[in-house]
Amino acid sequence: MSAAPRQTASFLMQRFREVGLEPDKRRGQNFLIDLNLLEILAKEADITDRDVVLEVGTGLGSLTALMAERAAAVVTVEIDKHLQLLASEVLDGFDNVVLLPHDALKNKNHLHPAVIQAVQAKLNEAPERRFKLAANLPYCIATPIISNLLSTPFVPVSMTVTIQKELGERIVAKPCTKDYSALSIWIQAQGVAQILRTLPPQVFWPRPKVDSVIVQIIPDADKRASIPDLEFFHTFVRSMFFHRRKFLRSVLVAAMKGQLTKPQVDKVLESQDLGPTARAEELDVEKMLSLCEAVRQSLTENSSN
């Protein structure tokens, strides 16, 4: 098996010139060219021969090849037909790489079924295998990829990805901060997230206009199991942040219109010790979980009456 070419700016520019192409900004094509950071990303993902790794955004296959040297299998997804061809040359010697030539998303709320099927097939090949996400994620699809993976029947044991710094800060944000959001709660309710390293624009080609980060999310099976209805929780949290500056009562009344009356909403808020001036951005993860379950129970009681 020959070593993959070193993904430097000069190598990338040469390959793109050879085929008469330029990176597609619409698809968030910013390639990580700092060789040490490629190694660090693979190292932080702690990839072993037990792991089935999902990579979204194959690019020219340099990170793919690096991970394939360590993993049981790599399922890598690339929507750009030209990059698929270039990556297939780099990955030709790896028999443990599955290159999927399409969009990783079926829509904004669901992964493409072929991605799930390919990962599941590789996991089924041995009982001890684990699923991980490791990728230099295109900015334009980073949020739905991370968010939707937490809604799948099989959740990665870890997600180690490069993303826009602003998104990383939203993922790890705390209550009462400008970055605290539905995404913060959705992820933190199910595991632990941390920013491992900040990446300046110059470590990518072409250079983005913003900083990036390597973020790692470690889902916790016990936390996930403690949420009675994940799908309801996901929808509920997003609805609570549709108008983040409004009082929680107004947001909840609007979200539950036709399902709960205003007195019923008031009763739920009173049971949670939430006053008339409470806002969603002030609630920590545990409080939001508690409020969600109180609302869900109230809806259940209504439907049974």
| Same CATH fold assignment for domains 9-223 and 230-304 | no
pTM score, whole prediction: 0.92
CATH for the stretch 230-304: 1.10.8.100
Average pLDDT of every residue of the chain: 92
254-268, pLDDT tens digit by residue?
999 999 999 999 999
Whole-angstrom Cα distance, residue 201 to residue 46?
A: 25
Parallel, antiparallel or unpaired: strands 130-136 and 97-100:
unpaired
Q: Is the dihedral of CA 240, 243, 244, 246 positive or negative?
A: negative
119-159, pLDDT tens digit by residue?
999 999 999 999 999 999 999 999 999 999 999 878 999 99
Class of domain 9-223: alpha beta
Whole-angstrom Cα distance, residue 123 to residue 157?
A: 13
As given in the structure block, the two tokens for residue 47 are 């990839």
Q: At 34, is the secondary structure helix, strand, or coil?
A: coil
The separation between CA 73 and the C-alpha centre of its own chain, rounded to angstroms, equals 20
pLDDT at 209 over 80: yes
- Which candidate, 65, 58, 54, places its Cα nearest to that of 5? 65
- Which candidate, 119, 151, 114, places its Cα nearest to that of 133? 119
In the chain, where the domains are located:
9-223, 230-304
As given in the structure block, the two tokens for residue 168 are 């990383």
